[in-house]
Structure 1
């Protein structure tokens, strides 16, 4: 089924893996355990009575449609899990404070676990793993574990280089090597998979609970669907947090190795010192992130690349 979807989508394997495949798993759970209790509805009755091949086609079509739909609203889906959307302000604030304390506790545990020559025992290594899933700056702490795990690499480029990777994300991808960009896409697909499966399994669990009101309900199957869906949703959240480790490494590699081609693509030359580079990227952020300002232009002129003829070189041209 996934091979068919892959060919239909023109080889966009990350979309298939991240959104289509988990959608098919959610539909399968719904189809096997919930639909038998909804045969009083014509649409589900016709699916239940159709041949196995027709049911497979329906599953494929429904998976592709649902997967594409969820992929198109990926940002708000992530925002909810990160604690930025649909969270009461007081709840978000209390959860943020909880994670600030958890980060400090992990840091203290790492410090205490350091033995001779700064080596960590197993307990300290696990504490370091937890600590590294938080942003470097406590002011960037988010209300949820997933929010912090993602925020750590969103903030990385600005913390190290004063380069806003979110503002310059498309430019970074356009100038970075294809292998690094592919690593980022592949790593994100792993997180997308668990996020999508969380939502679809959660939806299947809720639908099973509602189906208990149906006159043709099969209580045992519906209770089983509810338990499986809820358990899968909880597990997927935890796995999504862990999967951000690969995503974080890939994004950091993109930033670290993509800064030079990005500067060249923007017609800028890299300064001699890191302090000067941080200042340059800060000026780039001001220039691109706000309305046009002549002062911002003047600040960037000092970093404009100049070719051998003395003219400003905006990059290689064919």
Structure 2
């Protein structure tokens, strides 16, 4: 994905690690400790027991907590790209495929209902859905990022996944900073959402096994699930901002790469064919002249028949509504089990 190569240095790296790793992990571990304390005698009792501990034991516990938090934050920060892909809708497996089909059906129906002539619908098409219906993703986040990923191919015939790692090091510092800031904000909300979902699941299982009060179970399980959904919704504007920055990068700065490889003189050359030839040259490793002839002989994408572009229009629930219903059902079942 495009965000894989968005790396920052120095203070920006420290800030990103703190915001997207350490701070959410500390909040997650703190909530877990409070949940355990509340289920086993109450928070006040846990505080009194802590105060009675020897200073050495306190220091050992605090160091162990900090080490666990740092290791978890480092792992979480390294898995940021995987986390984004998960929220985009790349879901394999027996459970993932039905959920993916549900999301695809919903968003393809939504896309088919949008009218490009209407200004409001066009704004959604411009930022929230890919131009190619066969590229629709099962989540809103996935469609926003796919829209940005396909933008350079639509406008310039440019394969963004192949070109991005070569273009990014040439960008002005201001543009790289803007990209990093937008990506960091997006990853922060997704990290909060993932940890809140993990807290909802783990706290719910623990409280059921511990035979805790039903009210405590509802508070922890339902609150974690709602926070996860709200954090995901908060990530969508950040995803649009990041997508716009990606589009701006290709619109304004793509010529930097042509200059760097000695292709700045493009007079009389079809830009679409040039970028297609370069992408094939970099990806396949065959001579540029041959790839240029192959690109010129290739059919236009508009002439290709997309097998999965059409899909039966069936009524379906929004994926967010399904998740919210799942939270409510599991909360009710857990409360009943603890009665």
- Scaled to the shorter chain, the TM-score interval is 0.7 to 0.9
CA displacement at 1:299 relative to structure 2: 4.8
Quick one: distance in 2 between partners of 1:263 and 1:56?
A: 54
Moved more, 13-22 or 211-220: 211-220
Gaps of 5+ in 1: 1-7, 113-119, 302-318
Partner of 1:79: 85
Please show how residues 165-204 of structure 1 align to structure 2 within 5 Å.
165-204=160-199
Counterpart pick for 1:285 among 275, 279, 282: 279
Residues 289, 35 of structure 1: alpha-carbon distance in 2 compared, 3 angstrom cutoff: farther
CA displacement at 1:175 relative to structure 2: 0.6
Quick one: distance in 2 between partners of 1:95 and 1:11?
A: 34
CA displacement at 1:188 relative to structure 2: 0.7
Cα deviation per residue 1:92-142 (whole Å; 9 max; x = unaligned)?
Answer: 23432321220232x32x635xxxxxxx5xxx3xx4443331112212211
Quick one: distance in 2 between partners of 1:60 and 1:129?
A: 46
* Contact 1:37-1:214 within 8 A present in 2 as well: no
SS of the residue 1:166 aligns to: helix
Partner of 1:29: 31
CA displacement at 1:10 relative to structure 2: 7.8
CA displacement at 1:84 relative to structure 2: 1.5
Root mean square deviation of aligned Cα:
3.2
Quick one: distance in 2 between partners of 1:174 and 1:192?
A: 21
Moved more, 188-197 or 236-245: 236-245
TM-score by length of 2: 0.70
* Contact 2:84-2:187 within 8 A present in 1 as well: no
Please show how residues 10-25 of structure 1 align to structure 2 within 5 Å.
11-25=13-27
Quick one: distance in 2 between partners of 1:252 and 1:270?
A: 23
SS of the residue 2:162 aligns to: coil
Residues 148, 56 of structure 1: alpha-carbon distance in 2 compared, 3 angstrom cutoff: farther
TM-score by length of 1: 0.74
Residues 129, 30 of structure 1: alpha-carbon distance in 2 compared, 3 angstrom cutoff: farther
Partner of 2:111: 103
CA displacement at 1:282 relative to structure 2: 0.5
Cα deviation per residue 1:77-103 (whole Å; 9 max; x = unaligned)?
Answer: 222222212354454234323212202
Please show how residues 222-301 of structure 1 align to structure 2 within 5 Å.
222-272=217-267, 276-290=270-284, 292-294=285-287, 296-299=288-291
SS of the residue 1:163 aligns to: coil
CA displacement at 1:37 relative to structure 2: 3.1
Quick one: distance in 2 between partners of 1:174 and 1:146?
A: 26
Residues 250, 63 of structure 1: alpha-carbon distance in 2 compared, 3 angstrom cutoff: farther
Quick one: distance in 2 between partners of 1:272 and 1:95?
A: 45
Gaps of 5+ in 2: 1-9, 294-339
CA displacement at 1:255 relative to structure 2: 1.3
Quick one: distance in 2 between partners of 1:88 and 1:37?
A: 33
Partner of 1:308: none
Residues 9, 204 of structure 1: alpha-carbon distance in 2 compared, 3 angstrom cutoff: farther
Partner of 1:208: 203
Quick one: distance in 1 between partners of 2:59 and 2:239?
A: 37
Quick one: distance in 1 between partners of 2:90 and 2:187?
A: 18
* Contact 1:135-1:149 within 8 A present in 2 as well: yes
Quick one: distance in 1 between partners of 2:286 and 2:158?
A: 19
